[in-house]
Structure 1
Amino acid sequence: MKLLRREGTSKYQGRPEDTMYRPGRLLIYGTQHILTMYGGVIAPPIIIGGAAHLKPSDIALLVTAGLFISGLATLLQTLGVGPVGSRLPIVQGVSFASVSTMVSIASKDGLRPVLGSIIVAGIIGVLASTYFARIVRFFPAVVTGSIITVIGASLLPVSFSWCMGGNQSAKDFGDPSHIGLAAITLLIIVLISRLFQGAISRLSILIGMVIGTLIAVVTGHADFSAVKDAKVVALPQFLHFGSPEFQFGAIVSMTIVIFVIMTETTADILAIGEIVETEVDDKRVAAGLRADMAATTVAPLVGSFPASAFAQNVGLVALTGIKSRFAVAAGGGVLVVLGLLPVVGAVIAGIPYPVLGGAGIILFGSVTASGIRTLARVDYSGGLNLVIVSVAFAFGMIPVGMPTFWDKFPDWFSVIMDSGISSAAISAVLLNIFFNEWKWGNKPGASVFAERENRVDELGERLEDDIAASERRPRRGQSKDTVTASVDGVTAE
């Protein structure tokens, strides 16, 4: 079969994530992803480096290594190598879920035990990936919808903090000028999305952040002074912080964290599958987890930390409709370059937090909306599915609404439950098993949504409905053929 290589068409026909664009657009779309998650990548190395009492030059190396590993992990996840990599539009980055555990270890014993524990826990994660992925059968729409909704809702407070300035200890945190800058950025993105179509509309986040940053420069709310002190080129340094140190307690704690990260990554893979509208089975989840854990295992060798799928980029895919994994792979290439060119990274790091916050409101909100859309397919007659959604959402919101809720519990338990995503996933899966899988004692007529739909048939029916609706209501300036071609989220040009 002849492969289609035109822009806006699927390279391998049939899968939205295989859509290919011209190199220029791939770079632009990929850069938009990196701008969205850049702050989340550089924050953990800075926090952990401070806890380990490293000097500024060493903390800079941690940041550079984090960017470099995040880029390689993203390339591995999107492009894949054999049974490694989900081949989905997923951005990988340094996981924030592991920060509290690493800070606890680093503040007492330094950085070497942290690096050693990550290597061992990563290897355990690689070995467990195949078996861990089999839980995908316990993730019907009622479960995935609950998790996706919690992912977005739990991220929204982060964007609110960014809107207020990002640094809660700063005197000007919450200053109206910060919130005003975030509001302007948000307004620009909304107006671009409303007034423009096609490529410009899809780049609304990037354009909004660029304009917002320019406004911040003019009004004195941007600081790019770090650019002059950054090196132009800096290669990752092998074992710069010394040989890893293996401590039993640190390894146990980090292994628990790794399983939390795997739970979150599984949720993100399933979420992106729903958004892209592509088939995700246990083998594909396992491949994605292997990429996650392989990057995690290698990361400490160059001074970096556990890798994880970034939920905010799931929201960007939902918002822009750019489902191409090659666009995200281009973003991975940008991360690798930033990891080798600290001066370029310093420029991007100068984007003010309020600008990121204005964009984050839309990004994280769109993740929540995607979860709600998934939950809309669930049958709530009988009330049992309503119990699953309500309990899962409540557990997922505990760390957001009451961060100290689990502090009196054992460390291993609080590490798991302090992640709203993992606590929501665990509660939703357990309730789904109790209501849907376990048939004994079910009352007659109870709605448990027990059957796991054939997603291929479901997606096919939904696609036909979308095509029919689009043909009845073509957008201004589009022919019916163009509308039909854009149903997969890509407009043929």
Structure 2
Amino acid sequence: MRNRPEEPPVSAYPVHPVDEKLPALKMATTGLQHVAAMYAGVVAPPLIVGAAIGLTGTELTFLTAACLFTAGLATFLQTLGVWKIGARLPFVNGVTFAGVAPMTAIAASAHDRSDALPVIFGAVIVAGLLGFLAAPFFSKAIRFFPPVVTGTVITLIGVSLLPVAFGWAQGPDPAAKDYGSAEYLGLAAATLVIVLLLRRFTHGFVKQIAVLIGLVAGTVVAIPLGVTDFGPVADADVIGFPAPFHFGAPQFQLAAILSMCVVMVVSMTESTADMLALGEIVERPADERTIAAGLRADTLGSALSPLFNGFMCSAFAQNIGLVAMTRIRSRFVVAAGGGFLVLMGLCPMAASLIAVVPRPVLGGAGVVLFGSVAASGIQNLVGAGLEKGENVLVVAVSLAVGLIPVTEPDFYHAFPETARIVLDSGISTGCMTAVLLNLVFNHLGRQRAQTRGAKETAVPLAAPQSIT
């Protein structure tokens, strides 16, 4: 990825920006900014699954806190690393949304709803352990990710996330009468304008935490409008610990395990794409070894998560946009964010403070964050040689296939539920399409054609002279 004109090359730094340790205050505020960017994505799956199972309000709060706690532990594994585990890149890990549909299906098929979570936890543990063993083999797929593929995938990640921001901007409840009202959209627009003004007219530290300031300012603006709800803070406990196996010992059912293994494959595919994207943005390209270590962190974090009542973990694409925009590339900043997640899991009241931020405010900031990811992908495509061969066709078809679930969510409604786990993930389908088309157009038959051309243009050897 090209350096911006105002930035020195990475080689000019005494320590690579990814390994840089920032001052405590800056690390804390920028780490909190990462938490704010991904909080809604972490709490949504437990809220949806918990509601499907019929958990009480107290149990739902406990499940949400447990997912925050395990997301923090998984983030530590990914950023700080241990042995051959962890990509050691500025990645935030949290509950993958790809598992929501199969987990709710498992809950619906349970004869006793009290057994639903133990069955889900057992399936996640097995899928995580199998994924951990498969990580080094899965990472070898990196040779199928040239710039034309990575650029396409990065663009697709950003474009696929933008509808999430647009949904947040319209309000908290799609079924409500005021969903999409001028009040909500105006609040989202005000937050977006605040972030843009801060990025344009401020410098240094303030500029780097523009998103966090925008979220706080947007929340303050929302108070007189009656949009901000402080109820979760008043009702939350000060201290709480996600006691192991709170909902019962894990149970192991084959059908549930198979469905979660499919989710694990989807999650590993998306994580591979995310690592390639982030590697380009922070100018430390993710090689096969890095991807293997990152996938080990994802899968081990997933296997350990159910011990503390959490779900399958995966790298969060939302935070890639924050890294791209702020240019703060330190993995220790994200590790600080992981620390906040752990504290929120241990202190539900602290977790509820982030929940106070209205959805429209998150939507306004999300436009900047997710759009930055798409812009980074386009920048990669510029240098990918689109004028060569059929690269334009590879990009065009892959983006189209990847955007099907975004533009037509019910497009695959007639397919089996197991197949939809993969098909409804636009990032996964777009990624696989890009890899396949790149192989077809740029590799298969190319070597044979080059060999044939070399033979045709070769200069024939002169016939040996006879000795007379």
TM-score normalised per structure 2: 0.91
The correspondence of residues 110-121 of structure 1 with structure 2, limited to 5 A, is: 110-121=116-127
Tell me which residue corresponds to 1:27: 28
How many residues are matched? 436
The correspondence of residues 55-74 of structure 1 with structure 2, limited to 5 A, is: 55-74=56-75
C-alpha deviation, 1:383, in angstroms: 4.2
C-alpha deviation, 1:81, in angstroms: 0.3
Tell me which residue corresponds to 1:101: 102
Tell me which residue corresponds to 1:127: 133
RMSD: 1.6
Tell me which residue corresponds to 1:340: 346
Query: What is the aligned counterpart of 1:210 among 208, 211, 216?
Result: 216
Query: What is the aligned counterpart of 2:378 among 372, 381, 387?
Result: 372
Tell me which residue corresponds to 1:16: 17
Tell me which residue corresponds to 1:454: none
C-alpha deviation, 1:427, in angstroms: 0.5
CA contact (8 A) 1:129 1:289 kept: yes
Query: What is the aligned counterpart of 1:175 among 181, 193, 208?
Result: 181
Deviations 1:194-219 (A, max 9, x none): 00111111111001111000111122
Tell me which residue corresponds to 1:406: 412
- What SS class does the counterpart of residue 351 from structure 1 fall into? coil
Tell me which residue corresponds to 1:187: 193
Deviations 1:416-462 (A, max 9, x none): 11101000111011111222232348878xxxxxxxxxxxxxxxxxx
The correspondence of residues 34-433 of structure 1 with structure 2, limited to 5 A, is: 34-109=35-110, 110-433=116-439
CA contact (8 A) 1:299 1:305 kept: yes
- What SS class does the counterpart of residue 97 from structure 1 fall into? helix
Deviations 1:332-390 (A, max 9, x none): 11111111000011111111000000000000000000000000001123441011101
CA contact (8 A) 1:66 1:304 kept: yes
C-alpha deviation, 1:106, in angstroms: 1.2
Give the whole-Å Cα distance in 1 for the aligned partners of 2:363 and 2:389.
37
Give the whole-Å Cα distance in 1 for the aligned partners of 2:305 and 2:75.
13
The correspondence of residues 458-473 of structure 1 with structure 2, limited to 5 A, is: none
Task: State which structure, 1 or 2, has the greater radius of gyration over its C-alpha atoms.
Answer: 2
Give the whole-Å Cα distance in 1 for the aligned partners of 2:176 and 2:61.
22
CA contact (8 A) 1:117 1:250 kept: yes
Q: Match of 1:208, as an amino acid?
A: G
Q: Which moved more, 1:336-345 or 1:103-112?
A: 103-112
Q: Match of 1:115, as an amino acid?
A: F
Deviations 1:224-276 (A, max 9, x none): 11211111000111101111111111111110010000000111111000100
Q: Match of 1:72, as an amino acid?
A: L
4+ long deviations beyond 4 Å: 9-12, 440-444
Q: Which moved more, 1:212-221 or 1:142-151?
A: 212-221
Give the whole-Å Cα distance in 2 for the aligned partners of 1:367 and 1:248.
38
Q: Match of 2:176, as an amino acid?
A: A
C-alpha deviation, 1:324, in angstroms: 0.5
Q: Match of 1:81, as an amino acid?
A: V
Name stretches of at least 5 consecutive residues in structure 1 with no aligned partner.
Answer: 1-8, 445-493
Sequence identity percentage: 48
- What SS class does the counterpart of residue 222 from structure 1 fall into? coil
C-alpha deviation, 1:15, in angstroms: 2.4
Give the whole-Å Cα distance in 2 for the aligned partners of 1:231 and 1:410.
42
C-alpha deviation, 1:10, in angstroms: 10
- What SS class does the counterpart of residue 98 from structure 1 fall into? helix
C-alpha deviation, 1:67, in angstroms: 0.4
- What SS class does the counterpart of residue 221 from structure 1 fall into? coil
Q: Match of 2:232, as an amino acid?
A: A
C-alpha deviation, 1:409, in angstroms: 1.9
Give the whole-Å Cα distance in 2 for the aligned partners of 1:10 and 1:373.
21
- What SS class does the counterpart of residue 94 from structure 2 fall into? strand
The 1:11–1:342 alpha-carbon spacing in structure 2 relative to 1, beyond 3 Å, is farther
Give the whole-Å Cα distance in 2 for the aligned partners of 1:355 and 1:436.
44
